[in-house]
Structure 1
Amino acid sequence: MAAHIKELHSQVRKKLDESNKKYKLAADKHRRSSEFQEGDLVWVNLSKERFPRGKFGKLQDRAYGPCRILKRLGANAYQIELPADMEVSTTFNVADLQPYYADDKEQDFDSMSSHFQPGGTDEGSSEESHRELKSKGASSNEYSIAKERPRRVVTKPIRFQD
């Protein structure tokens, strides 16, 4: 009887190990593996729990950076160089860090760009730009689309009829 129970225990342990491996594989598919070195630049994800009461608002940035990694404290904890006036602990979990890439350039957002014309802008819309559109063969309909603001299309609700 004792041998039978030991055999059952070993079978259950084997099944548990197999299912744990399967769960680990499924979890690792979504896991973001990040290994940082000392001196790397990272973005730090901030949450209101890290700040003293009244120091963090809803409209503050969610990420701060780029910040330099000072030291690795364990498998998933890092010490980050932060300004002293932030009054925040400098130890962060790897889940709160995102790599900073030097080629992340600020997007030159042109508020005058038109979504009708790729790369086009509304600035300098004068008679010569109108003539330029006409000379490129734009019909009057295309010209009005490029010139005017988009209109809201109002549709009536669909009703079931008996």
Structure 2
Amino acid sequence: MLALMDSHWPSAYVPSTAEGVRRVLEESYALLMESPAAEYYTGKNCSLRSAPSSSHMTHSFAIALPKNSPHLSEVNTALLQLQESGALGRIKNKWLRPMPPAASCPTGVGGGSARLTGVGGGSARLDIPVLSSYKLTLMSLVRRRRAWGAAAPV
């Protein structure tokens, strides 16, 4: 599949999510991305739709740190606390929820899921834009907790 994607012109690859979204809107192009990012973009633009993800495609996010990083334990602890307290869900709802709400789209226009039937082959680019935002958010929270002490609000 990689050889097929590499052989097409224009390239199946895009340099940014914004370019991928532009191509989806203007061309016959499909962009593969993480579901939180897809929720954000489909909620923001009524002309976009996303294919529903199936349970076997769900997975967790990870934050990459340099080998032997002194922050590994802190980041793992912060992630666990954020997950257990429900703060990760609140962060997602605050920063990745559709704006404006998909409900403001005209009836039958975008803002939701599409069903895929008879899909075979094709080209798409795997893009994980939300990973960077999670990393920045979590690092900011770790720094804030360190500055304010353990009682920092989330």
TM-score by length of 1: 0.19
Query: Is the radius of gyration larger for structure 1 or structure 2?
Result: 1
The higher relative CO (CA closer than 8 Å, separation ≥ 6) is in: 2
Q: Higher helix fraction: Structure 1 or Structure 2?
A: 2
